[in-house]
Each structure stands twice: as structure tokens, then as C-alpha cells.
Structure 1
Amino acid sequence: MEVIWFVFFTVLLAGYFALEGFDLGVGLLLPVLGRTRETRDRMVAAVAPYVLANEVWLVAVAGTMFGVYPLLEGEVLFGLYPLVVAMLLSWVVRDAGLWFRRRLDGSAWRGLWDAAIAFGSLGLSFGWGMTLYAAATGFASPPVHPLGVLLGVVMTLLFALHGWTFLAWRTPGEFGATRSGLALLGTGLVAAIPAVGVLAGAMPYLLEHSAPAATLNVLSVMVLPVAPILLGAQIWVWRTFRPGKDAFRFPSFF
């Protein structure tokens, strides 16, 4: 049962990096590619249908960690407390930017919340790289380390590449390029590789420090049957908003 939950946790974390990665990437590119208000609106609208569905994966990752790896929860929350707080604030700022940017029509108002999206995306992307570094060292090294900073830069660049590929897939030709779904899948896998690599290295520790078998059995009955629903909802979102004849009609509440 410990191995099943390890695989499940790995899939969830990899799925979050591959899916939320392009959300963050588009946010990172907002001040780079969004030279006009209309272009920024198009970028946000392109990613809007996917944001909430992608964030569900992070909730699933956190819930699985708390239930299956309670010792890891302590390591993350207490050992990385300042970084976790900074990432949560970045998440709130990014989402606030998405929700508030169109509530008023002034250019200053839009500019403020577009900047919030970009800075929040940067904080999350960079923070994930530093978190992966700390996890790779068994939380023996603080995340503010040259290698941690380097991994933060790498994750930021990977998410930006993934976001650019998403825009080239979702809005063919609008940002100077067109990419296939296969290319988007490729950048998603690349964005997820660091997370999978860290978890693979931590596999012995996680298997040894899993919750008791009785707890895992209860969680299996309660959680695993919901996994197909999560996957089905994700597939529905992608099929509904895939590029096609209506690719330039972007329903958006952001």
C-alpha cells in the first residue's frame, strides 16, 4: 500500500507541475509578451478556463501529503516556514490579480493587478525550485542556497517555456509561433521532471515514513475512488476548450 500511495503522490505532484506550470508561465510572460492591454487580456483569457482545474492538483498534493506523510508535513511546514508563507502569499497575490483585474476599467487598476499576476507567478515558480532543492537535501540545507537559487531560476525558465508553448498551442500564430499538442505535452513533461526526480530520490524515506497501514487503508477507501473523477474533470476541461474553429472565442471571468 505504501508503494501505491507513493506512486499516487508522485503523479499528483507531476500533474501539478505540468498543468499549473503553464498557468504560471503565462503569468511570467505577461509583462514580456503583453505589450498592450488587448494582448494581456488575450493571454489571461487563454489560460482562464484551466486555472481553477489546475489548482485542484495542488490541493490534492497537500491533502495527500498531510494524510500519507505526516512527518513530511512537519518538515515542510516548520523547516521551510518562511518559504511556505512566501509561496502562499504569492499564490494569493496571483489569484487576486486574476479575479480583480477586470472589476474596474481604469488602466492603472488593470496595470496593478496585471503586475500582481506576474509577481505572484514569479514568487511561486521561484519558490517551487527552492522547495525542490531543500527536499532533495532531505531538508538538511536551507532553501536560500546558491543551488536552491539556481533551481529556482531553472524552474522559472521551464514554466515560462511551458507557458509560451501553451500560448502557441492555444492561440496559433498570435504570438509569433504555432505549437502542437505534442509540443505542449513535451514541455509539460520537462516541467515535471525536477519534481519527479526529487521524489524518486526521496522514495526510501517516504516509504519508511508513511502513515500506518490502517490509516492508508482508510485513505484508500476514501480518496482513491475520487481520482477518476479528478482525471475526468480535467479531460473534460481540455476537450471543451481545445483549439479549433472557436479558438479565438475565449470565455473568461478574469
Structure 2
Amino acid sequence: MEVIWFVLFAVLLAGYFALEGFDLGVGLLLPLLGRTREGRDRMVAAMAPYVLANEVWLVAVAGTLFGVYPLLEGEVLFKLYPLVVAMLLSWILRDAGLWFRRRLDGFRWRGFWDAMIAFGSLGLSFGWGMAVYAAATGFTAPAVHPVGVMLGAVVTLLFAFHGWTFLAWRAPGVFGASRSGRALAVSGAVAAVPAVGVLVGAMPYLLANSAPAATLNVLSVMVLPFAPIVLGAQVWVWRTFRPGKDAVQLPSFF
């Protein structure tokens, strides 16, 4: 049972990197590719239908981490407390920017919230790289470590590339390039490499810190039956908002 839940946790974390990665990547690219208000509106509209569905993966990752590996909860929250707080604030700022940017029509208002989207996306991307390095060391390394900072930069660049590929797939030609669904899948797999690499290295550590078998059995009964529903909802979102749909022309976040 420990191995089954480890595989599920690995799938969830890799799925989060592959899916939420392009949302964060689009946010990172907002100041670079969105040089006009119309361009920024199009970028946000391109990722808008996917944001909430992708964030479900983060909730699932957190729930699995603290349910299957309860002994790690204290280590994550205590040893990585500043990093966790910074990532939570970045998440709030990014989502607040998406929701508030069109509540008023002033130039400064939109500019401020667009900056918050970019800043929050940077904080989350960089923070994930530092967090996965800390996990790979069994949380023995300090929250700010040179190797962790380097991995944070790598994850940020991978997410930015994934976001660029997503825009080229979702809105072909609008931002100067066109990419196929296969190219998007490849960039998603590449974006998930840091998460997969860390999990492979940390597998013995995670298995040794799994919850008791009785707890895992209860979690299996309570959680696993809902997995097909979540997966089906993801498939529905991607089929509904694939390229060519009118939703790509929406100039705002809904």
C-alpha cells in the first residue's frame, strides 16, 4: 500500500508541475510578451479556463502529503516555514491579480495587478524549485541553499518555456509561434522532470515515513473512488477549451 500511495503522490506532483507549470509560465511571460493591454488580455484569456482545474492538483498534492506522510508535516512547516509563507503569499497575489485586474478599467489598476500576476508566478516557480531540493535532501538543507536557488532558477525557466509552448498551442500565431498538442505534451513532461527526479531520489525516505497501513487503507477507501471523477473533469476542460474555440478570444479572466 505504501508503494501505491507513493506512485499516486508522484503522479499528482508531476501532474501539477506539468499543468500548473504553463499557467505560471504564462504569468512569467506577461511582462515580456504582453507589451500591450490587448496582448496581456489575450495571454490571461488563453490560460483562464485551465487555472482553477490545474490548482486542484495542488490541493491534491497537499492533502496527499499530509495524509500519507504525516510525519513530514512538521518538518515541511517548521524547516521551510519562510519558504512556505512566501509561496502562499505568491499564490494569493497571483490569483488576486487574475480576479481583480479587470474589476476597474484604469491603466494603473491593470498595470498593478498584471505585475502581481508576474510577481506571484515568479515566487511560486522559484519557490517550488527550492522546495523540491529541500525534499530531496530529507529537509536537512536550509531553506535557502545555493543548489536550491539554482534549481529554483531552472524550474522558473522550464515553466516559462512551457508557458510559451502553451500560448503557441492555445493561440497559434498570436504571439509569433504555433505549436502542436504533441509539443505541449513534451514541454509539460520536461517541466515535470525536477519533480520526478526529486521523488525518485527521495523514494526510500518517503516510504520510510509513510502513515501506518491502517491509515492508508482508510484513505484508499475515502479518496481513490473519486480519482476517476477528477480525471474526467480534467479531460472535459481540455476538450472543451481546445484551440479553435471562441473562448480564446475572451479578453478577461472569468
Relative to the length of structure 2, the TM-score reads 0.98
- Which residue number in structure 2 is paired with residue 201 of structure 1? 201
Is 1:236–2:203 an aligned residue pair?
Answer: no
Change (3 A) 1:58 1:148: same
Pairs within 5 Å for 1:104-253? 104-244=104-244, 246=246, 248-250=248-250, 252-253=252-253
Shift of 1:29: 0.2
The whole-number CA distance in structure 2 between the counterparts of 1:11 and 1:250 is 32
| Percent identical | 84
In structure 2, give the amino acid aligned to 1:66: F
The whole-number CA distance in structure 2 between the counterparts of 1:248 and 1:15 is 23
Shift of 1:236: 0.2
Shift of 1:47: 0.3
Aligned 8 A contact 2:16 2:58 in 1: yes
Aligned 8 A contact 1:170 1:247 in 2: no
Gaps of 5+ in 1: none
Aligned 8 A contact 1:171 1:247 in 2: no
Aligned 8 A contact 2:169 2:179 in 1: yes
Secondary structure in 2 aligned to 1:202?
A: helix
Aligned 8 A contact 2:46 2:171 in 1: yes
Aligned 8 A contact 1:133 1:143 in 2: no
Secondary structure in 1 aligned to 2:95?
A: helix
The whole-number CA distance in structure 2 between the counterparts of 1:245 and 1:74 is 45
- C-alpha RMSD of matched pairs (Å): 1.1
In structure 1, give the amino acid aligned to 2:203: M
- Which residue number in structure 2 is paired with residue 44 of structure 1? 44
Gaps of 5+ in 2: none
Is 1:71–2:71 an aligned residue pair?
Answer: yes
In structure 1, give the amino acid aligned to 2:225: P
Shift of 1:249: 3.1
- Which residue number in structure 1 is paired with residue 3 of structure 2? 3
Shift of 1:247: 6.3
Shift of 1:244: 2.2
